[in-house]
Chain A
Amino acid sequence: MFLSIKNLSVSIEDKLILNDFSLEMNKGEVHAIMGPNGCGKSTLSNVIAGNEEYTILKGEIVFKDQNLLDLNIEERAQLGVFLAFQYPIEIPGVNITPFLKASLNAKLKKEGKEEVDALSFAKELKQVATDLGIKSEMLSRSVNEGFSGGEKKRYEILQMSILKPSLAILDETDSGLDVDAFQTVTQGINKIKNDNNSFLIITHYQKLLDHITPDFVHIMKDGKIIKSGDYSIAKLIEESGYKNF
């Protein structure tokens, strides 16, 4: 199994958020998680990425045969976990280009591969940015500083495209996007998707799943998955909400 989460219970400030949560994903699969506000979707994505604010009460997360709970945040990222944040953070004074190059090189170093040089990196970054409709002048700006909501989301996809993760978690990446941004972001995701990586997509809307077809859709409630199935579940939710689950 590529990713296996078993009986995971997680709390924050003594409040139980994930309650005996389990999920299994194979390589190349796209899983979507839908659920009402506060059901624990974002907690799940944060916990997989290693956010230290949460307390793990029990359970395990195994990814590429390694227990993620034994690894710190950067070790998980270097192993191929990528979280596209729901609310990407502004970091004034930290330029995206050297930051992303350092991130990529940390990953390549961990994989025992040769680090990328500045010139080839800049070339690739510019190309990916163009594909995502990001103007090249934005590459000389600080990370997310003064960006609109849509620009921040494009930037997350830009980072994902460069880092080429094996497990990408998209936490409501579709929220706050206008029609054009939605189009570029979904195209960007589809471009990266292949048989060697998996996607965990957290969304409230079927619309995103119309563009990135999931292999499985899971409904989450009160910290656990209460129903799993195919794309048709997303349609059901779009029509009648979560009350029937």
Chain B
Amino acid sequence: MSIQEIYNESKNKFLFNDSKNFSVLRSNILKNLDITPKIKKNNESLKYLDPQVLNFLYKYTELSNDILYLDYEMDIMNIDSVNGKISTIHKKTNNKIDINIRNINSSNKLAEEIFLNFQDYFEDDYILNLNSLMLNSGYEINIGEKQEVTIFISNNITDQALTLFQKNIISCSKNSKVTIIEEFATNKKSNSNIANFISLEEGVELTHLIFQRNSLTASLQSTSYTNCKKNSLYKQLIINISNASIRNHHYANLVGENASANLDGIFFAGNDQVIDNKTQVNHNFPNCKSSQRYKGVLTDQSQASYLSKTFVDKLAQKTEAYQLSKGILLSDNSYFHSKPELKIFADDVKCSHGSTIGPMDRDLLFYLRSRGLNKKDSTSLLIKSFFHDMMFGVPNKIFLEQFNYYSNKWLEMNNI
């Protein structure tokens, strides 16, 4: 069944199916869905994608938009998202934090406007176009001014063969200090295509930690677009220890002076996995900082790509931007493609990029083994050392413990 046929069969079930503007958008997307070899070769959203991701039948189980609130003994807010909608929020009853959370329905005009505006940034992104075409779920989280909150979001799927096309809005009002920890640990055969639109008002600090550990048949394509206003800081760290093919495309737009964005990622790839990573930071104002760092370990026949881009507008003087890509290939058949890109139109900037891909450093291995540690233990230690700078300073202890536990498990499973 073609995507057009799938769309026609289910079009009345999608979000904003009665919206004129969304209809126009959807018609345009439908016109450009055919993938010719030329398009596949030139379109970066398809070039490094696991083609299996596009091979699906639409299935969605709609759950209620109502949210159940339960009392929770901890200070953090614990949110269960099921099939792309928030079902339960666990929080302290006496917690008076100014935060507004709701699921998105077709009558949410503001959300519709936000989604349509963001669409302009993703004209050529096939995955984002599919997301808009078959949009079936999403939620919004609005955090009030000067609030300090830690939110844990567990993303779950209830049914086999579910296809999720989800858009979320996360907005942080002035001077709020927020930590969001997300977990994807789906073991149901499924395809999740999720886009987060995040806005940081002046003085906001948002730490966004994302743990992806989906099972083999639970594909995930995660996209985010973050707008950072004056004096705000967005810190994103993605840990991908999934068995499935995963796409992570993340963008940050610095739209005020002294704004900063860090888009960091760690991935482990084995078997026939295809890991498709991309980050981009647009510097539009002076005195902004950014870093984009992705590091991965690959074995078997796995393939990974990392495209990173820094755009510096001519107004964005005193920009400091850093890009880094590093990969360790543990097998001869693994493959990592890295392409750092800089587009600079200002003349007073500090921008740099580095990329290293290769086998495990033999001098380091020799050093550790010369102290009596076997090759397996030495390799395991060196992989931890490889990711050390990315994990250093992560504020959440549980997230760190999870990283240690699942990275050890990955090493054991892959006999490393």
Q: Give a binary string over A71-84; 1 marks a CB under 8 Å from any B CB, 0 the rest.
A: 01110111000110
Q: Kindly identify which residue among B363, B370, B385, B388 contacts A77, using a CB–CB cutoff of 8 Å.
A: B370
Count how many chain B residues have C-beta atoms less than 8 Å from C-beta atoms of the other chain.
25
Q: Kindly identify which residue among B367, B369, B371 contacts A100, using a CB–CB cutoff of 8 Å.
A: B371
With A73-B366, A89-B363, A89-B364 already in contact, the answer to whether A94 and B371 are too (CB < 8 A) is no
Tell me if A91 is interfacial: C-beta within 8 Å of chain B.
Answer: yes
Q: Are B387 and A102 in contact (CB under 8 A)?
A: no
Q: Are A83 and B372 in contact (CB under 8 A)?
A: no
Count how many chain A residues have C-beta atoms less than 8 Å from C-beta atoms of the other chain.
31
With A74-B375, A93-B387, A93-B388 already in contact, the answer to whether A49 and B382 are too (CB < 8 A) is no
Tell me if B362 is interfacial: C-beta within 8 Å of chain A.
Answer: yes
Q: Are B389 and A50 in contact (CB under 8 A)?
A: no
Q: Are A74 and B372 in contact (CB under 8 A)?
A: yes
Q: Are A99 and B381 in contact (CB under 8 A)?
A: yes
Residue on A nearest B378 in the bound complex, by CB? A74
Q: Are B384 and A50 in contact (CB under 8 A)?
A: no
Q: Are B370 and A49 in contact (CB under 8 A)?
A: yes
B window 370-400: CB within 8 A of A: 370-375, 377-378, 381-382, 384-389, 391-392
Q: Are A78 and B372 in contact (CB under 8 A)?
A: yes
A-B residue pair count with CB separations less than 8 angstroms: 78
Cβ contacts under 8 Å, A73 to chain B: 366, 369-370
A window 85-133: CB within 8 A of B: 85, 88-89, 91-94, 99-100, 102-104, 106-107, 110
Residue on A nearest B392 in the bound complex, by CB? A93
Q: Give a binary string over B351-368; 1 marks a CB under 8 Å from any A CB, 0 the rest.
A: 000000000001110111
Residue on A nearest B387 in the bound complex, by CB? A93
Tell me if A51 is interfacial: C-beta within 8 Å of chain B.
Answer: yes
Q: Kindly identify which residue among B366, B372, B385 contacts A51, using a CB–CB cutoff of 8 Å.
A: B366
* Extra pairs beyond A89-B364, A103-B371, A163-B372 (20, CB < 8 Å): A50-B369, A50-B370, A52-B366, A72-B369, A74-B372, A74-B374, A74-B375, A77-B370, A77-B372, A85-B367, A89-B363, A91-B364, A92-B388, A93-B391, A94-B381, A94-B382, A99-B373, A102-B373, A106-B374, A142-B388
The residues of B with any CB-CB pair to A shorter than 8 Å are 362-364, 366-375, 377-378, 381-382, 384-389, 391-392
22 contacts between A and B (CB under 8 A): A49-B366, A49-B370, A50-B369, A51-B366, A53-B366, A74-B369, A74-B374, A74-B378, A83-B370, A88-B367, A89-B367, A92-B389, A93-B388, A94-B384, A94-B385, A99-B368, A99-B373, A100-B371, A102-B377, A110-B372, A159-B371, A163-B371
